[in-house]
Amino acid sequence: MSGPPIVKGTAAWRYFGDFRAGLLAGQVLVLQVAHPVVAAGVRDHSDYVEDPWTRLMRTAASLSIYVYGGPEGARYEADRLRELHRSFTGVDEGRRYSALNPHAYAWVHATLVMVPVDTQRFYGTPMTSSELDEYYAQMCDVGRLLGLREQDMPPTWPEFERYYAEMLDGFGPNETISTLFETIRTVKKPWRWLPDERWVRLQRWQHRGQMFVIRATLPPAFRERLGLQWTDRDQRRFDRFRAAVRLVGGLVPVTLRSSLVRRIGRLNVWFRAHPRAYRFLGGG
């Protein structure tokens, strides 16, 4: 199933870059590394432990290109990502793995497909059935650009939901999830100029906040398998928090909610066309 181009007014254009999706950054990372192949690849090849802030910004830039960078930008970024991940291979528990394992590659894409849906469910207004159908068809088109196989993309949104739930049923705790939680606790300061004593306080605050939102937004059965506590009191606190986020987000016009990510996408497409400028500003 193909969807309309991602242009102004369509579902993916409206919802994918919603600024409130940043609140799900920790949740989606946990869900991605729940897959054993993804977990092994991140463990062996990712620098997120040493430099999580840069890794997060690079990921956001990449997403902005293949959703908001137009067809040519999306193709370029898809080719770049596949070439980058081609060398991410290794051995995990005696079995060889590849970051381009089609099932693992499809799962990472599936978690990104779910982010805007969860964002609206938790912090906005849930998408209607027609919006979900259009949005999912558009994200399947993005998946094709990324090289996903047709058999790894359920043809309809209800079938995707079943696939997503079945995948989650097979996941549990692993070493990479534990390392991710430890990284959230001990993450280094994002800016050198930030005084150490101030960062010590901010670090504790961001750790508590990040872990609270992760616990709140993970699927309940998976959260329980990870051994993360969740009480009625926690649920009441989260209900108040998301009501506040929903209120603030509702004050921002729909066209502005994704404007930052759209601009990042256009800027990154320009950088791809002007590699010298990109290198001059410190890009890889």
Q: How many CA atoms does the CB half-sphere of 83 hold within 13 Å?
A: 6
Task: Give SS3 for 96.
Answer: strand
Tell me how far apart the alpha carbons of residues 145 and 82 are, in angstroms, rounded to a whole number. Answer: 10
How many Cβ atoms are within 10 Å of 117's Cβ, its own excluded? 21
- Rounded to the nearest 5 degrees, what angle is found at the Cα of 129, between the Cα atoms of 72 and 117? 60
Indicate the pairing of strand 89-92 with strand 95-98: antiparallel
Tell me how far apart the alpha carbons of residues 143 and 66 are, in angstroms, rounded to a whole number. Answer: 10
- pLDDT for 158 equals 97
Which positions of the chain have pLDDT values less than 70?
Answer: 1, 45-61, 84-85, 87-88, 90-94, 97, 99-100, 269, 271-275, 277-284
Nearest CA to 92 among 152, 176, 173, 166?
A: 176
Residue with tokens 């381009």: 100
- pLDDT for 258 equals 87
Q: Where are the domains of the chain?
A: 11-282
For the chain, report the end-to-end CA distance as a whole number of angstroms: 36
- pLDDT for 73 equals 73
Tell me how far apart the alpha carbons of residues 170 and 99 are, in angstroms, rounded to a whole number. Answer: 19
Tell me how far apart the alpha carbons of residues 268 and 62 are, in angstroms, rounded to a whole number. Answer: 8
- pLDDT for 76 equals 75
Tell me how far apart the alpha carbons of residues 179 and 185 are, in angstroms, rounded to a whole number. Answer: 10
Tell me how far apart the alpha carbons of residues 258 and 124 are, in angstroms, rounded to a whole number. Answer: 13
- pLDDT for 54 equals 60
**89: which residues sit within 8 A by CB, 6+ positions away?**
96, 97, 98, 99
**Residue 38 buriedness (CB in 10 A; 0-12 / 13-18 / 19+):** buried
Q: pTM for the full model?
A: 0.86
Question: What digits encode the pLDDT tens for the residues 205-221?
Answer: 999 999 999 999 999 99
Tell me how far apart the alpha carbons of residues 80 and 211 are, in angstroms, rounded to a whole number. Answer: 32
How many Cβ atoms are within 10 Å of 134's Cβ, its own excluded? 19
- pLDDT for 48 equals 60
In the chain, which residue ranges form alpha helices assigned H by DSSP? 11-15, 25-33, 36-45, 52-68, 70-86, 102-123, 129-145, 157-169, 175-186, 196-217, 220-225, 232-250, 254-257, 259-273, 275-280
